[in-house]
Each structure stands twice: as C-alpha cells, then as structure tokens.
C-alpha cells in the first residue's frame, strides 16, 4: 500500500487523527489529574502514572513521524521513523512494565544500552539508503524484546508470590492484569516488527491496537493500589524481618487483632500460625511479627 494511497483513505485518516487526539487527551489526563475516574478509592503509584503518560506522548510523536513519512516517502525516512519508535517506545514500555512491580531497584538503563547496536544498523541504512538494514534491526530488536518479556514474566510471578506472602487483602494488587498487558505488547510488537509492507489491514490493526493499549494502560494505572509502607519484593526479601514498620501501622494492627482475633476468639485455635493470623487480620507477617516483638 503506497503512501499516497494511505493518505487517500479518508476512513483511515480519520481513525489516525482520532488515535492521536485520544493519546493527547490521555497524556494530559494522566499528568494533570491525580484522582481516579475508574476506581476513586485507589491511590495508584505516581511513577506508573508518569510512565503511562510518556507512552501516550511517544504514541503521538510516532504518529506525527509516520505522517511525515507518508507525505515524504524514502528509504532513509523509513529507517529514521522505525528507529524513533524502537529507541523511544521500547525503553518507555519497559519503564511502565517495571513500574507495575513497584520496585525502584529495577532500572531501565540496561534496556537502553542493549538497544545501542541497533543504532549502528540504522546508521548504515541511512548512509547507504537501503531498507535491508531494517531486517537486521528487526531480528536484533526481537531478540532484545523477547529477553525483556521473559525477564518480566518471571519478575511478575515473583512479585505475585511476594504480594501473597505480605498482603492478605490483594484487591487492586493482583498481577494478572500485568500478564495481560505483557501479552498485548508482545502481540503488537509481532505485528509491527514482522511486517515489512504497509498493508491496509495492518495499518487498521495497528490503530485499533493503539486504542486497546490506551484503555488497558489507563485501567491498569487507575486500579493498581500503591504499596505504602513497603520496600518492594527485591529489597523486602533481602531485609526479611528487619523491615521496620511505621508506628501508625503497628497501631492499626492492634485494632485489627482486637477485631478479628479477640472478638472472634481466634486465639483458641492452638495451631494458628503467624501467616494464618496475618491472613485473618489483613496485614503482612513482617509487620505482625514486629508488633508482637514490640
């Protein structure tokens, strides 16, 4: 499908503009509004909100660059636009996915460093004005992206186990939504990277996929409860029971114990474990252990 043919498709041009407009609106919403529309009772992580806004900004920039390419098609322009997507979108998506784990000890810079060799391939493609180098870039990026997805898959599983060990109330904290977003990003990347020609069906699929992604990101941001008073799975596992609970949480535990343990005579259960008591009272066993020690 040629560039002029794309621009003459009025329905696609309208859809293209709608996606850009929705991306701009969602970026402003995420940056300027702190309260949630989907789940007002949830307090989401600010870091996750900022990464989601960055994805929206990159989506707008990508659409602008591709529109420029449709108006001025060339081998050099094609490589430049693809590299803009790869070098910006993949690290930003990685930052968003890592932020879902609520662990500040997982940096994004290794992803940026890993993508550096693709710049060499892009430079060769621009110098020689040959799109064949995009094939090499696709193979390299697919390998990097696959490694990132495998790493995140196991990291999300570990995060889920850590949540179950430390939080009895898992509402707005469960991780199946994270697996869903991982799956959608993988499918979208396969469509984008493995198609060398702009077919009408592909272009429409990508635009509809952008709308789905926007909805999923907004839903995930506004329904993920921030883990206050927690260091995250990495540091939490290393700190173990030396993790110090704030005094306010210890006071809350005293109230929870009276409500769930004394009033219901839970203390009569002779084989009650610390983990079972934590589950019954809706707190984590690290803080509960500190309460008894105090």
Q: How many angstroms separate the Cα of 68 from the Cα of each of 3, 65, 285? A: 10, 5, 56
Whole-number pLDDT of residue 13: 92
Which of 127-131, 140-144, 160-164, 278-282 has the highest mean predicted lDDT (pLDDT)? 140-144
Q: What is the pLDDT, as a whole number, of residue 193?
A: 65
Q: What is the pLDDT of residues 231-267, one digit of tens each?
A: 555 554 544 444 555 666 666 777 777 776 766 666 6
Read off the tokens for 10.
């009025």
Could you tell me the pLDDT band of residue 174, with boundaries at 50, 70 and 90?
low
Instruction: Give yes or no for residue 178 having a pLDDT over 80.
Output: no
Provide the residue ranges of all domains of the chain, joining segments of one domain with +. Answer: 3-223, 244-293
CB atoms within 10 A of CB 4: 10
Q: Of 180, 176, 145, which Cα lies nearest the Cα of 159?
A: 176
Closest among 190, 204, 86 to 137, alpha carbons compared:
86
Given a cut of 70, is residue 278 above it in pLDDT? yes
pLDDT (mean) for 210-235: 77
17 pLDDT exceeds 60?
Answer: yes
Cβ-Cβ contacts under 8 Å for 259 (sequence gap 6 or more): 281
Residue in 125, 136, 137 with CA at minimum distance from that of residue 75:
125
Q: What is the dihedral of CA 65, 108, 158, 58, to 10 degrees?
A: -20
Q: How far apart are CA 4 and CA 285, in angstroms?
A: 63
Give the count of alpha carbons within 13 A of 103, CB side only: 21
Distance CA 53, CA 49 (A): 6
User: Which CATH number applies to 3-223?
Assistant: 1.20.1070
Write out the two tokens for 139. Answer: 């193979």
pTM metric for this prediction: 0.75
Vertex 105: Cα angle to 101 and 108 (nearest 5): 80
Where do the H-state alpha helices sit in the chain?
3-8, 10-32, 46-71, 75-99, 109-114, 116-128, 133-166, 176-193, 200-223, 233-239, 247-257, 274-281, 285-293
The CA–CA distances, whole Å, from 265 to 234, 258, 268, 274, 290 equal: 36, 10, 6, 16, 22
**pLDDT value at 230 more than 60:** no
């Amino acid at each position: 499908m040629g560039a002029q043919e794309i621009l003459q498709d009025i329905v696609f041009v309208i859809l293209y503009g709608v996606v850009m407009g929705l991306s701009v609106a969602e970026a402003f919403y995420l940056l300027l509004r702190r309260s949630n529309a989907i789940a007002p009772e949830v307090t989401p992580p600010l870091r996750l909100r900022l990464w989601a806004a960055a994805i929206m900004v990159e989506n707008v920039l990508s659409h602008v660059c591709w529109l420029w390419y449709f108006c001025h098609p060339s081998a050099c322009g094609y490589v430049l636009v693809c590299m803009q997507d790869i070098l910006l979108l993949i690290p930003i998506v990685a930052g968003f996915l890592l932020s879902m784990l609520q662990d500040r000890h997982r940096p994004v810079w290794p992803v940026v460093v890993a993508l550096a060799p693709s710049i060499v391939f892009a430079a060769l493609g621009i110098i020689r004005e040959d799109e064949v180098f995009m094939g090499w870039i696709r193979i390299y990026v697919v390998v990097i992206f696959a490694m990132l997805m495998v790493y995140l898959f196991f990291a999300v599983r570990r995060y889920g186990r850590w949540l179950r060990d430390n939080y009895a109330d898992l509402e707005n904290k469960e991780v199946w939504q994270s697996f869903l977003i991982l799956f959608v990003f993988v499918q979208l990347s396969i469509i984008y990277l493995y198609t060398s020609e702009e077919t009408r069906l592909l272009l429409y699929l990508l635009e509809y996929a952008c709308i789905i992604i926007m909805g999923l990101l907004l839903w995930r941001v506004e329904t993920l409860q921030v883990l206050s008073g927690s260091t995250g799975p990495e540091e939490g596992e290393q700190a173990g029971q030396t993790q110090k609970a704030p005094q306010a949480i210890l006071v809350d535990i005293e109230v929870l114990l009276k409500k769930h343990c004394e009033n219901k005579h839970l203390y009569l259960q002779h084989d009650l474990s610390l983990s079972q008591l934590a589950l019954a009272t809706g707190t984590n066993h690290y803080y509960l252990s500190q309460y008894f020690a105090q």
